[in-house]
A and B are shown apart, each in its own frame.
Chain A
Amino acid sequence: MISPYPAVTLIAVLFGALTIAGGLVWAERRLLALWQDRYGPNRVGPFGLMQTLADMIKLFFKEDWVPPFADKWVFIMAPAIVMFTVLMSFVVVPFAPGIIISDLNIAVLFFLGMSSLGVYSIVLAGWASDNKYALLGGMRAAAQMLSYEVFMGLSLMGTVLLAGSFDLVDIVNAQRHMWFVVPQFLGFVLFMIAGIAETRRLPFDLPESESELVAGFHSEYSGMKFGMFFVGEYIGILLVSSMITVLFFGGWRGPVLPPIVWYFIKTCFFLGFFILLRAALPRPRFDQLMAWGWKLMLPLSLANLLVTGAVKLAFFH
């Protein structure tokens, strides 16, 4: 199933992901505007499409400033880590038959591992900034991501059980007859919530929470270092949407249209849904967030795993 030209795929995925992330910035602003009775950016290029490009040029020309009180090297490293971990996760995503960089047999575990590493970026950024708001943001991020990671992994185990493999291609192929969202609806809901929390998106953007912490862990960042956090977040959304598509909605599988198109249609739907969440939901308190994570989501995901395992044992063994 590996592409015959891995280098081409690699470059295509890398640029595709980054371009989509850029487009996503524009799409998010347009969609948010749409749901708030506005127009959003509509001046730069057709439909304002060049807005992101303009913003990027601006970011590149901004002063690349490291605060004199910051821990310089860690401060510079932190945004690179987030880009690295998120982009690494794309290695295992099967976009379509033959369009995958590396078909790992432990792809799910690899994805989970990479997303756990991502937390370092946030914590280090908060720490290196030597700013109380940044530190508070970093600490929130550590607690939040650690908590939600636990049941994120558990919520996937139902799918893995059903497919009988950690390999994402196998999981897609196992949905030949039925998307796993049907047997694993609870798992899907839990994974989606955990995914939002992992990407620190609204309503779970407590590490940033601009109304209380200035800009949280990236308060001191400017220019392209800030840009990397920013783009990292959008690639993160793309990744989580891709994973939902792959794990619960049959990946590229669909009638008539080519597989890659199906993959994009499904992914875009979830991207839109995430933006809708941002447009509609308020941010919870931090204690509420933690309580849900440990007291609600974890038991539910354990129950889901238990029931799925029991059913599998009882009927398909």
Chain B
Amino acid sequence: MLSIIRTLWDVFLHAFRKRVTIQYPEQKAYLSARYRGRIILSRDPEGGERCVACYLCAVACPVDCIALQATEDSTGRRYPEFFRINFSRCIFCGYCEEACPTYAIQLTPDIEMGEYSRQNMVYEKEHLLISGPGKYPDYNFWRVAGVKIGGKDKGQAEREAPPTDLRSLLP
């Protein structure tokens, strides 16, 4: 019985505490760099598109809101022909970022993307692609992959021996 009265009193005293509410939008909250907000596509340190259109983000997406089509440039470098995210379906779970083998797709601390028309929530590649490397400044998938692309021949990736000379008779 006393504890109930004590509780009532304690709760009543909260009336004089400081408010924890942040008065958005006049005040903004601090969102960490790892916050799962608007999704972007980043570029590698050389400025090339990081996305290699492997479809892993699309398949990891629990709401299936990512659609893309792979294509290749004349040197064999693969990239998405189109890359579409339907943010009106996105749940910002970050699975796409976890699935991405090239750090191309990243979630950012931007959350202000409300629209009056759902159609405006559909982002194409030109809306998604940013000019920098995002959270991972150093990684370049093509430097570790074995395939040959423009500017990187066979055997020039990290930890690769030069191409085998098939005519050598040496054991």
Q: How far apart sit A281 and B11, CA to CA, in the bound complex (Å)?
A: 9
Decide if A37 touches B7 in the complex (CB within 8 Å).
no
Decide if A280 touches B21 in the complex (CB within 8 Å).
no
Residue of chain A at shortest CB distance from B9: A280
Decide if A35 touches B21 in the complex (CB within 8 Å).
no
Q: How far apart sit A35 and B15, CA to CA, in the bound complex (Å)?
A: 5
B11 interface neighbour in A38, A39, A276, Cβ under 8 Å = A276
Decide if A37 touches B11 in the complex (CB within 8 Å).
no
A37 interface neighbour in B4, B8, B12, B19, Cβ under 8 Å = B19
A277 contacts which chain B residues (CB < 8 A)? 8
Is B28 interfacial (CB 8 A cutoff)? no
Q: How big is the A interface, by class?
A: 10 to 19
Within the complex, the shortest CB–CB distance from B16 to chain A, in Å, comes to 9
Interface SS of A by simple majority: helix
B17 contacts which chain A residues (CB < 8 A)? 37
Q: In the complex, which residues 123-150 of chain B have their Cβ closer than 8 Å to any Cβ of chain A?
A: none
Q: Interface residue count for B (Cβ, 8 Å)?
A: 14
Decide if B18 touches A280 in the complex (CB within 8 Å).
no
Is A279 interfacial (CB 8 A cutoff)? yes
Q: How far apart sit A34 and B13, CA to CA, in the bound complex (Å)?
A: 10
Q: How far apart sit A279 and B14, CA to CA, in the bound complex (Å)?
A: 11
Decide if B11 touches A280 in the complex (CB within 8 Å).
yes
A39 contacts which chain B residues (CB < 8 A)? 19, 21, 23
Decide if A281 touches B4 in the complex (CB within 8 Å).
yes
Within the complex, the shortest CB–CB distance from B8 to chain A, in Å, comes to 5
- Among A36, A38, A277, chain B packs the most CB atoms within 10 A around the CB of A36
Q: How far apart sit A200 and B11, CA to CA, in the bound complex (Å)?
A: 21
Decide if B18 touches A279 in the complex (CB within 8 Å).
no
Within the complex, the shortest CB–CB distance from A242 to chain B, in Å, comes to 22
Is B20 interfacial (CB 8 A cutoff)? yes
Q: Apart from A37-B19, A276-B12, A280-B10, list 5 A-B contacts with CB within 8 A.
A: A37-B17, A37-B21, A38-B19, A280-B4, A280-B11
Which residues on B are within 8 Å of A, measured CB to CB? 4, 7-8, 10-12, 14-15, 17-21, 23
Closest 10 CB pairs of A and B: A280-B11, A35-B14, A280-B7, A34-B15, A280-B8, A39-B21, A37-B20, A35-B11, A38-B21, A37-B17
